[in-house]
Amino acid sequence: MVEYDPNDAARWYLAILGCEHEDHPGALLGRVVYVPPSKSGVEYLHCGYMHVAPLPTRGDRIYWPELFPLWPATLERCRAHIELKTVYLSHPERARTQPASARRQPHETIDLMLRRKTRDALLAQGYTADLRRPDEGRPTTHHLTLSSDDYIITIEYQHRLEDDGLRLTVEALVKASRSALESVGRIEADPEAVSWSDHALWGFWWNESLDIKEVAFTLAPKELTVRLGLIWAAPSHYFTCVDIVTGGEADEHDIMAKSVGSEGGALANHDEALLVTLDPDSTVERLEA
């Protein structure tokens, strides 16, 4: 147990669950959760509980509540504090028992993720990143858009799984354009494609990282080089490595350094969660999941 510290970087929420308690029909349940600081940019959701004074009791025992009924009027009053976030569930016990064998497990699908460290590095270069995940119409396609004042770079990732999820192919179609110097339109370069392949057949493991691929565009007056890579994160999950070089060269170590980081724990499938931000002035304690 760790007492909540207002100066700590962990963020506390009530996760709005799509269910009701039988004793409180008409009210959704809110689960106390928190997101600890993350060096990698992957936000892991952990269960917590609330310290209430005076402490409530169940029979002759005191307890720290973790679920709260959220009535429609309460949700309406908190609407300004409700946000939709992509979060991941941490399973540290799985990581302790089989940290290596996970790299032999088949992929069920592929979920590409962009770490906050990578986003920050791109932002320092003047690019904002927008990663869109697959939808029902294109379940194997991710779209990454990098936008700056002068350039727009779009990367369309297509993945294919074969041999019961033990063979992976990822193709990336890269497009670049810049604003025209003396007109309203944009100048587009010819698109370029790169690909990666890997497998975990015949006792092999998935590689921890796949080769860096470079795509060069000439958009006068500058030459733009987009460098892409993939890092295995967990079964069915990869981090995307992205770096942009303008008029110069960068060492392969640089792009990995902007993306690689150890987060600890195993990764579970992410989901979109409705979270209510908790008041940082309240007294809260947390329990590790």
DSSP helix/strand/coil, 104: helix
When comparing pLDDT for 61 and 85, which is higher? Answer: 85
How many CA atoms lie within 13 Å of 230's alpha carbon, on the beta-carbon side?
Answer: 24
Average the pLDDT over 70-96 and give the result.
75
In this predicted structure, what is the pLDDT of residue 40? 62
Average the pLDDT over 246-272 and give the result.
47
Average the pLDDT over 74-98 and give the result.
69
Q: Which residue has the tokens 């308690």?
A: 21
In this predicted structure, what is the pLDDT of residue 62? 65
What the block records as the tokens of 92 is 């540290």
In this predicted structure, what is the pLDDT of residue 288? 32
Rounded distance between C-alpha atoms, residue 266 and residue 110, angstroms: 16
Strand partners, 234: 237
What's the full length of the chain, in residues? 289
Which of 86, 110, 133, 135 shows the shortest CA–CA distance to 236?
A: 110
In this predicted structure, what is the pLDDT of residue 260? 47
Which of 89, 28, 36 shows the shortest CA–CA distance to 276?
A: 28
pTM of the model: 0.55
When comparing pLDDT for 277 and 149, which is higher? Answer: 149
